[in-house]
Structure 1
Amino acid sequence: MSLVHDLAAGALRSLDPEDAHGLTIRALQAGLGPRPRGPGDPILAIRFAGLDLPNCVGLAAGFDKNAQVYGPMLAAGFGFVECGTVTPLPQAGNPRPRLFRLTEDRAVINRMGFNNEGLEAFAGRLARRQGGVVGANIGANKDSEDRVGDYVTGLRRLWGLASYFTINISSPNTPGLRALQTKDALEELLGRLAEARDALPPEGKVPMFLKVAPDLEPAEVEAICDVVAAAELDAVIVSNTTISRPPLNSAQASEAGGLSGAPLMDLSTRTLRLFHQAADGRFPLAGAGGVSSGADAYAKIRAGACVVQLYSALVFSGPGLVGRIKTDLAARLRADGFSSTAEAVATA
């Protein structure tokens, strides 16, 4: 069945990228997603930031913006699924076209602009969750007068519904959002979130992560790590899409927006190494950006990530990719003498 699903994914690539994604969501809602047989390989199980994950390969935010298909994606073999980015109020996002498939580069450029149905629709669907680790990636509305307040609103509304929260301050498609990565702005944001969290019922407390851009200088990385540690956040996700442009071959390479996919692998992994060095064991890391194979996932882990996330590679390789990545990653771990994923973290 994996082959059937991958062939279907190939057919979708003949359509407009955003239309293809919409059809994929509807197909998953109709129960047409892959369902691997048998239990997962125990070598890939890991405890990350207090979460017990059946495997270390997660679905990054952006695929399931409105918490519509987290169940089918967990069933497809992901160890955890991150939904969103969700903003307090529904918003249409930027004008179309805003999603570009760079086939020659196995890359994607998007300038979606946090298009989503808003917190109420998101919360209603997340409330139906029946197991599995499902995170909520929260953001700010484009026209908000208090962007920090938007994050607080998201935290409060989804309290008790999500397995973890990711604070997304690194999308390049909401003007000014990345400025929240500066030290003073980040201290204010995390301080207000901590204050709000402490006032909420303790039984709803779950890990909180920060998602950062790959386009950071070493001094910025060090400052972010110090603020994250002081605020007692649980982990950092490295990284979101890049505004830089490595050499690309596709005709749409000059489109504005965030670049993801294979060309992001090297940059995001270099930034991951910087974060691992600056974090100095104070909190764990998730590696995202360019993961499209078991070798890529292994490289992220060896560079300091405890878990990895992917999304863009599914566009080119189909939903069977997650199973292939897990099989290859497990083989690589055993070949190098590791008995668990955790043993391989930051060993290169």
Structure 2
Amino acid sequence: MEQVNQIILSKAGSNVELIPEIATHLISSGGKRLRPMLTLAMADMFGYRGEGHVTLAASVEFMHTATLLHDDVVDESDMRRGKLAARKLWGNQASVLVGDYLLGQAFKMMVDVGSLEALRILSEASAIIAEGEVLQLGAAQDITTTEEDYLRVIEAKTAALFAAAAEVGPVIADQSAEMKAAARDYGMQLGLAFQLVDDALDYGGSAADLGKDVGDDFREGKITLPIVLAVARGTDEERSFWKRCLEDGDIQDGDLDRAIDLLKSHGAIAETVERAKAYGAGALAALEGLPDGPHKGALADAVAFCVARVS
């Protein structure tokens, strides 16, 4: 991972001073590096010998960082990883453009690796992520959003990059289609678990857990699984409350506390956590057919880490 971090810092550089300033603000503010770890561990698990997995891991992290810069503009977020979001310090235009720059650097690194299949997988993931963001935009502030609608959103905007990051490991190690599919399934299931944990933490966690303010999803009118479940189980009066807060944007003092109380009373947070654990179990099941060894253990630990955030 140290090699990955070195590449990230190097490739974030530019003669345009504002680019590294904004990029390093986010890159150096922490982050779990979970997605690049999947690429490294999967490649190592299959005995890959080379440096391509390090470069691909760095490109995966650049893709993720770019989406964070873009997301914060779309969501009008103030905080990211416990610090002011780049958009609050440098504005929306600069944040979007630096995100574009990082995506460009990510694709250059993919080309440098020389694997057309890895390039295809990651470029497809980039398009799917954008589709997911547009889907979420359409579902935002719409309390009629269904579970099926919401799962489509998070499969695209979050889980797709986890899946691609895991799959390119066996790809560059020249493994069978069966091994690639198992790695992809692991990443997809882990990504879904990760997002649902985040959804639960927004109403039952802390700012330290989230790296942003608790209740941000509520204030931004985001429809997440806890909301979908609570709306479906609620009374007409409760649905009027959700409509006022999330669709009309009329949030008053005490509304976040009431929202949390409603989510808890309908078991929406607890069920979201259970769904996350089920996806985590699915990720572990996908690992069973992959080679044994320390890297397999690290991938299992990633699942445990994800779920432990709400345990």
Instruction: State whether TM-score is above 0.5.
Output: no
Greater Rg by CA = 2
- Return the TM-score normalized by structure 2: 0.32
Greater helix proportion: 2
